[in-house]
Amino acid sequence: MPGRVVVVGSVNVDLVVSGERLPAPGETVTGGTFSRHGGGKGANQAVAAARLGVETILVGAVGDDDLGRAARAVLSSDAVDTRFVETAPTATGVALILVGAGGENLISVAPGANATVRPEAVALAFRELGLTAADVVLVSNEIPGEAVVAALSFARSAAARTILNPAPASGIGREALGTASIVTPNRGELVALAAALGLEPADHDPATVARALLEAARLADAVVVTLGPAGALLVDRSGEARAPAPTVHATDATGAGDAFNGCLAASLATGLGLRDALRRAVVAGAIATTRTGARDGMPTAAALDDAIAAMGTA
């Protein structure tokens, strides 16, 4: 039987200004266009998994305000189970995002209700869900660190597979890394995690750093490094593997990592092996860069299959 994806993470509203270029510190750049989107790494990853047809549950919090009610409704419309998204007596999280013409971005986040996610709420959700070995639990780092560690620990005790997306990488220590089955940093996050553990690899090649991190944290399975247009790198006990990304016209990279992680979790929950899941996730991440907004470009299962098929015939 296929498993479920349980995402523990943030729910935000993204306020986006897209322009010709990003401003330098202290500079004002005019002429951009404004848009509002659903955001937060947890919510984005849940949508990415749900659009691929996998049962997806989100554990998190929104504020007791119009933004929170709207965020919950949008998630439900994408078939995300929100019964474990609490309503906190505070503001919903907000992300201010600037996007340049080439898809690069700058992001500043006010966490709001995301800072209220408690280990006790995570434990209660997991008990009610009755996690099994077929389930995949995906955790990102826009919620309190104790909730991150609790989610990974509770999931591992239930034999569920765990993915830690260390975004942002600050505050993640050996306890969280050692409890995750798979860790999915981008290149910058990989370096930050290695530094936080006091590692000094022989060189800064992603494979070398990932191998050092894998050994130091005593991870069960793997480190997966996302490399943008270069695809992704997998380092596990059996060696290394690379997954190429398709060539796309990128307009906004904001949700690429979330699409990647959501697809990786969904693919594993359907029973795919890690290498096959990685190849699908890289394509999902690339597709997500082709439209503005963290979620708008996230593919359905049919769109993802079509893109993968097109890569095979190119």
Number of residues in the chain: 314
Residue 113 tokens, joined: 């209700």
Strand partners, 243: 232
Which residue is associated with the tokens 């996730």? 281
On whether the CB atoms of residues 172 and 141 are closer than 8 A, the answer is: yes
Q: Which of 66, 252, 258, 296 is catalytic?
A: 258
DSSP reduced 3-state for 17: strand
Within 10 Å of residue 178's Cβ, how many Cβ atoms? Answer: 16
Q: Which amino acid appears at position 236 of this protein? A: D
Q: What are the E-state strand segments in 89-203? A: 93-99, 105-110, 136-140, 161-165, 182-183
Give the torsion sign (CA, 110, 111, 113, 116): negative
State yes or no: is 66 an active-site residue.
no
> What positions carry a catalytic annotation?
258
